């Protein structure tokens, strides 16, 4: 396992081909379908293709840079954390914890540990958080991780116009 970050309860590591089934299963919950539908993988084959692509991005500064979040206890794959380029040298944080593991602080723990390591790795000093306004849980994670909101209103999000919130984290 090529660990990027280790916390008290988690390993954040590069994706491997054998994680495709977990990626598929973790992508099927109602929160992903509702808030980031382009990250739903309906079949294991779709997940496998995506994991292969994500693996090809390690060692580049192009992104997306997506890492698996594993529980240290048994190394169960519970989700991911990612840094995605959004243009003009700016990057956005993304994360998902599978439904059975939500409300336990895992997303906050993963994002908090991931941000400084990835900011240094990519050579940036700020990261953006963009979410649907109705995704209150994501808003709480961003707030706990030190993001400051600078915009709330209508904006483009995953190909449509919605009520969104934009925030920024600074190193």
- What are 84-133's pLDDT values in tens digits? 999 999 999 999 999 999 999 999 999 999 999 999 999 999 999 999 99
Per-residue confidence band for 60, with pLDDT thresholds at 50, 70 and 90: confident
State the pLDDT confidence band at 1, using cuts at 50, 70 and 90. low
What predicted TM-score, i.e. pTM, was given to this entire model? 0.94
Whether the CB-CB separation of 4 and 117 falls below 8 Å is answered with yes
Span of 27-31, 105-109, 121-125, 137-141 with lowest mean pLDDT: 27-31
């Amino acid at each position: 396992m090529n660990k990027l970050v280790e916390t008290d309860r988690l390993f954040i590591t590069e994706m491997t081909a054998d994680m495709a089934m977990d990626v598929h299963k973790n992508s099927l919950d109602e929160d992903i379908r509702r808030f980031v539908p382009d990250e739903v993988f309906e079949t294991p084959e779709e997940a496998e293709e995506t994991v292969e692509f994500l693996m090809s991005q390690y060692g580049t500064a192009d992104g997306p840079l997506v890492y698996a979040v594993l529980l240290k206890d048994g190394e169960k794959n519970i989700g991911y954390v990612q840094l995605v380029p959004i243009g003009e040298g700016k990057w956005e944080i993304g994360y998902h914890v599978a439904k059975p593991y939500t409300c336990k602080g895992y997303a906050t723990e993963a994002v908090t540990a991931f941000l400084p390591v990835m900011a240094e790795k990519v050579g940036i000093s700020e990261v953006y958080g963009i979410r649907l306004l109705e995704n209150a849980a994501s808003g709480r994670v961003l707030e706990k991780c030190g993001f400051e909101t600078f915009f709330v209103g209508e904006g483009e999000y995953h190909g449509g116009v919605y009520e969104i919130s934009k925030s920024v984290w600074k190193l």
